[in-house]
Structure 1
Amino acid sequence: MNGTARPVRNVRSAVFTAAALLIAIVAARADDGAIINRWYSALLVADRTELADLLADDVRIKLEDLDVVQSKQEFIAALDEWKGAVAGAAIRHRIEKSEGGVTTVIACYDFPDNDMLMQETFAVTDNRITASSQAAIAENCEAY
């Protein structure tokens, strides 16, 4: 009897371990999704405090179309100009995939005079964005 009880315990232990790992992965994805939602909400109103809180101190933000890489300080400093550009705009976004701490987002920036469809990626560690890249995929949001 002891010979059969031990494998059952081992199987149970493995099942519980796998379930705990799955729950941790799902929770991490949910946290990353919440961070992404906070990002777009703060970006829409150029909220310096919230954006600074979301960004890691050593973050690198790559704007592919402009061939520019910004530090956290450079990004925050550019928010005055962004605030004027985003006045009256809307930003819609959807998460395309999230794995290994990297989330890919399709975002529609709907400005009063035009719109733009972007693919953006975010690397998230310890609830902070550690890297971000942004590239245009269309000059309108019809494909959103």
Structure 2
Amino acid sequence: MMRQDCHRAAFVAAALLSSLVCARADDGAIIDRWYSALLVADRTELTDLLADDVRMKLDDVGVVQSKQEFIDSIDEWQGAVAGAAIRHRIEKREAGVTTVIACYDFPNNDMLMHETFAIADDRITASTQKALAESCAAY
């Protein structure tokens, strides 16, 4: 009987670990979608990716935007991102927050950014963005 309980416990642990790994993979897919949509200023996709009560924090300029404020700023962003590239890599995942290093490679300059994403139910619930360097040399 005890052996059966151990097998059951091992199965439950494996199932929980598997669901955690899948959730992390899904978070990576959400972040990939985010940067793809951001690069082309796709309002529909960005709207879909953001939770209704999201808070977008831009540390360098001291701004916190709601979902609507962020979407309203996409017209200005669209002009800035024309001809740009965005490279990103996930640095770590901890306590429900994914940390990303992103290089925004604009036609006339580039910028290395530290960005965090909290994700729940396939939606970004919070994001923080802070500049690391005025070049992507360290990317």
Which residue identity lines up with residue 120 of structure 1 in the other structure? E
Q: Does 1:18 align with 2:35?
A: no
Q: Which residue of 1 aligns with 2:43?
A: 48
Comparing 19-28 and 95-104, the one that deviates more? 95-104
Q: TM-score of the superposition, structure 2-length normalised? A: 0.99
Which amino acid letter does the alignment assign opposite residue 89 of structure 1?
A
**What secondary structure, in the 3-state scheme, does the structure 1 residue paired with 2:23 have?**
helix
**Sequence identity (%):** 74
SS state at 2:7 partner? helix
TM-score, structure 1 length as denominator?
Answer: 0.95
Name the larger-Rg structure.
1
The number of residue pairs the alignment matches comes to 139
Per the alignment, in what secondary structure is the counterpart of residue 39 of structure 1? Answer: helix
Provide structure 2 residue ranges, at least 5 long, that are not aligned to the other structure.
Answer: none
1:28 counterpart residue number: 23
What letter corresponds to residue 112 of structure 1 in structure 2?
Answer: P
SS in 1 for 2:137: coil
Q: Match of 2:122, as an amino acid?
A: N
Aligned match of 1:58: 53
| Runs of at least 5 residues in structure 1 that lack an aligned partner in the other structure | 1-5
- Once the two structures are superposed, the pairs formed by residues 88-103 of structure 1 within 5 Å of their partners are 88-103=83-98
Residue 104 of structure 2 is matched in structure 1 by 109
1:128: how far off?
Answer: 0.3
- Per the alignment, residue 138 of structure 2 pairs with 143
2: CA distance between counterparts of 1:100 and 1:40? Answer: 22
**Greater than 4 Å deviation, 4+ residue runs:** none
Alignment deviations for residues 34-73 of structure 1 (CA, whole Å, 9 cap, x no partner)? 0000000000000000000000000000000000000000
How much does 1:98 deviate? Answer: 1.4
Instruction: Give 1:83's aligned residue.
Output: 78
